Amino acid sequence: APTGSAKQQRPWTETPLLVFAIAVIVTVWMAVSRASDFLIYWQAGRDLVAGGWAAVYDVKSLTPFKYHPFFALFFAPWGFLPAALAKSLWAILNGLAVLDTARRWRRCWGIDAAAIGIGFVGVVHALTWQLKFANVTFFMLWLWTVALTSPSLTRQAVGYGLLIALKPFWLALLLPWVLARRVRLVEGVAVVLVGISLVPALLGIDALQSAYDGWLGTFADPLHEHNYPKTDNQGWYGLLFRHADALGGAVPLLWLGGALVVAGLWLWAWRRFWWRPTNARIHSAMELSIVPFILWTAPLSWIHHQILLWPLLAWLGQFARRHRPSRWIWGSAWALLNGTGGLLLGAAASRTVHRWGVPILAFPLLTWWCAQHLASTLSQPDDVQA
């Protein structure tokens, strides 16, 4: 099971060639891609400098900038760069983030290079989307890994706070935090979120109000709902919303019921640890195993978000070397997440399969299987832990 604490420090020169190769693939592929999402971030930075918050949060745009105002400020300096240079720099930073993330998995959780490669193959369909759009998913993976492997409470709070501000679906981590009684972490994250939210006030109180009026306006706009039924929104809510005409007003209740069922699978697996003293190993294992639940329950669970399963599938691949049933689970998850793409099924069949949400079956499967085996491993004496 993940150790959750750093082992002996390995220098960068000991990083396996496979990990470097993965980072290079990410960098080069992203640099030559269309980078559609990154160009929205880049344009938001330019708009903030040239036209203020009203230009950033333009609801009339087909794909408006919808991130927290803090991140518009972050991308403002990028707007001074030519698009091609900015995209190349973004690709390099993504590659470095992947390199450092994988290094932390090896050092802190004992996941070897071969397993990291197996996990990479496990999210290959998501990678084709991520590298086409060049969005923030790799940085979310890096922030989460840093927060989860750092011994510093301050660094943890900053990492989680940025994640929640970036994508509110990370609030699902409150479940393991409450279960593990991590009160100080919850308090720290709340302070960071307040601090992040006040950053636009550096431009003035009027700017603060304008920023939040514009940001919230992008979600209030009726056109925002066109995102939910898209077939690349592969979560429980997305599946229900695609069939809203038949389900009527039952969609919210069905979504809540489905979320509670998968949350129950996760909670039952960790029942041995309810309200008991915990440590970094348990925190890491809990959060690794809850990522499929996050993807299942998020209202917007894009295919590229499945990259967040990479460390869990790497751990499962390593565990499967000595546990044959886990090989079947890994293979089943791979088939659901990757075998349903257009490359294997063809475009028409793939659209049908995704419309009916077949890939999302991987999320409750991984939640149930990985949670129970990680919890079971942590319940054993240290001398038999993986």
In this predicted structure, the answer to whether residue 41 has a pLDDT above a threshold of 60 is yes
pLDDT digit string (tens) for 203-230? 889 889 999 999 988 887 766 778 899 9
pLDDT digit string (tens) for 42-71? 999 999 999 999 999 987 776 789 999 999
Q: How far apart are CA 78 and CA 61, in angstroms?
A: 20
Residue with tokens 């699902």: 172
| pTM passes above 0.85 | yes
Quick one: what percent of the chain has pLDDT higher than 90? 79
Which pLDDT score, from 0 to 100, does residue 385 have? Answer: 35
Q: Average pLDDT for residues 176-192, to the nearest whole number?
A: 96
In this predicted structure, the answer to whether residue 9 has a pLDDT above a threshold of 60 is no
CA atoms within 13 A on the CB side of 365: 20
| Closest to 139 measured CA to CA, from 72, 94, 173 | 94
Query: Are 237 and 298 contacting, i.e. CB atoms less than 8 angstroms apart?
Result: yes
In this predicted structure, the answer to whether residue 329 has a pLDDT above a threshold of 90 is yes
Instruction: Find how far residue 279's CA is from the centre of its chain.
Output: 23
Q: What does DSSP assign to residue 33?
A: S
Query: Among 200-204, 325-329, 343-347, whose mean pLDDT is lowest?
Result: 343-347
Quick one: what percent of the chain has pLDDT higher than 70? 93
Mean pLDDT of the chain: 91
| Closest to 2 measured CA to CA, from 364, 327, 321, 377 | 377
Residue 334 pLDDT grade (very low, low, confident, very high; cuts 50, 70, 90): very high
Residue with tokens 């640099």: 31
Which helix (H) or strand (E) segment holds residue 280: the answer is helix 280-297
End-to-end CA distance of the chain: 5
In this predicted structure, the answer to whether residue 242 has a pLDDT above a threshold of 90 is yes
> Virtual CA dihedral for 321, 325, 326, 330, nearest 10 degrees?
110
pLDDT digit string (tens) for 103-162? 999 999 999 999 999 999 999 999 999 988 999 999 999 999 999 999 999 999 999 999
Query: Among 25-34, 213-222, 264-273, 276-285, whose mean pLDDT is lowest?
Result: 213-222
| Closest to 123 measured CA to CA, from 339, 361, 358, 352 | 339
Comparing 64 with 36, the larger pLDDT belongs to: 36
Which pLDDT score, from 0 to 100, does residue 383 have? Answer: 31
In this predicted structure, the answer to whether residue 5 has a pLDDT above a threshold of 60 is no
Which pLDDT score, from 0 to 100, does residue 248 have? Answer: 84
Residue 340 pLDDT grade (very low, low, confident, very high; cuts 50, 70, 90): confident
In this predicted structure, the answer to whether residue 37 has a pLDDT above a threshold of 90 is yes
Residue 11 pLDDT grade (very low, low, confident, very high; cuts 50, 70, 90): low
Residue 197 pLDDT grade (very low, low, confident, very high; cuts 50, 70, 90): very high
Q: How far apart are CA 227 and CA 238, in angstroms?
A: 9
* Those residues with Cβ within 8 angstroms of residue 279's Cβ, 6 or more apart along the chain or in another chain: 4
Which pLDDT score, from 0 to 100, does residue 107 have? Answer: 93
Q: How far apart are CA 173 and CA 185, in angstroms?
A: 11
pLDDT digit string (tens) for 77-102? 999 999 999 999 999 999 999 999 99
